[in-house]
Amino acid sequence: MTTCWSSSTTRSANAAAWSSRRATSRPSGRSPWRNRPWPGTRSVNDVAGEGRVRSVRRHHLEKPAWLKAPGKGGDAYQEVKSLLRTAGLNTICESGDCPNRGECFANRTATFMIMGDVCSRKCTFCNVKTGPAAALEPGEPRRVAEAVRHLGLRFAVVTSVNRDEHPDGGSAHFAATIRWIRRLNPGCGVEVLTPDFLGRPMQLHKVLAAAPDVFAHNLETVPRLDPGVRPQADHRRSLSVLRAARQWSDARHPAGGARMKVKTGLMVGLGETADEVLDVLRSCRDRGVDIVTIGQYLQPTPRHHEVVRFCRPEEFEAFARAGREMGLPWVESGPLVRSSYHASEQSAVGEGTRD
């Protein structure tokens, strides 16, 4: 039997446990945000089974001015799109409808999405297609490395869809992609943003053994909302992945030497409280996470999880300050921040913190 980091507690039990925790009173004075909802937060219906959002009609929230992303266009933007099409490569920038893709493509950067464009999971926030996926392409890792070389990248970011049906979850494919990038692009930094591999240590270790500069796995939301946002994932399992990555790296690098950075990302605006976000930041710190990104959730289509509220820029700044005070080395927090945004700059962090 494969050993997993997380317990086998059922999803319904998890949801009940977190519901109970939320209702438990806590001592006052621990935080000015303690147990207070976001200002203006509307009530959120319970989420139906299998992670599907209940079809309750609510008034439309108009997108505020601070969420207007730069337009798309220019020679560099078109060149990157053309290169990706020619090479038969996918990016999360396009598949996930990222608001920053115009800026990133114009700067000749992109986050490569390997293992196809069809995901085996059905997260209610994500715009990536779901369903049965095609077989993995053995030549894809090299094609990604060649695209990195053609673009002249000094830092490459690679993510993927979930491939839970695959025997190793695609971990060997990740490792091959890292090694091909290193082979064809000496000196190029590499960040990987991986699935949880169902909590299987051997699969995680395959990726870590290829020595990425940054290992990322996103928590996405707070524990209470996880069953409705990531119905096939588990918050504790994701935290265990981050801790295991930190421990694996620390065991192989001497004190004071260069070590792999560990990173995670969160979305806000899904119905969480500020207090819950602070709790997640503490959990990240306690597990040795180096980098946390926090950005506004944007609903891709009416079929996806609703936006409960749009958080103001000063609220994101407050999270960055709170993270710094907790001791997190780097917090990238802003309305349009996504997990791969400014990834190259984050990878160079020592012990400073960026707002």
C-alpha torsion angle, residues 250, 253, 256, 258 (rounded to 10): -100
Residue 297: inside a domain: yes
Q: Flag whether pLDDT at 81 surpasses 80.
A: no
What phi-psi label fits residue 168: left (phi over 0), alpha (psi between -120 and 50 degrees) or beta? alpha
Q: Is residue 104 part of a domain?
A: no
Residue 156 lies inside a defined structural domain of this protein: no
Q: What percent of the chain has pLDDT over 70?
A: 67
- CATH (domain of 350): 3.30.750
Rounded Cα gap, residues 131 and 185, in angstroms:
34
Number of domains, the chain: 1
313 pLDDT above the threshold of 50: yes
What's residue 102's pLDDT? 57
181 and 190 in contact (C-beta within 8 Å)? yes
Specify if 246 maps to a domain: yes
336: in domain: yes
Contact between residue 102 and residue 69 where contact means Cβ atoms under 8 Å apart: yes
Instruction: Give the pLDDT confidence of 185-215 residue by residue, as tens digits.
Output: 999 999 999 999 999 999 999 999 999 999 9
At 252 the pLDDT is 86
Short-list 48, 56, 45, 44, CA closest to 11: 48
Whether 75 is in a domain gets the answer: no
Kindly state the average pLDDT of the residues 147-163. 89
Inside any domain, residue 247: yes
pTM, rounded to two decimals: 0.78
Q: Are 100 and 69 in contact (CB under 8 A)?
A: yes
Question: Is 50 exceeded by the pLDDT of residue 318?
Answer: yes
Find the domain containing 246 and state its range: 213-355
The verdict on residue 200 lying in a domain is no
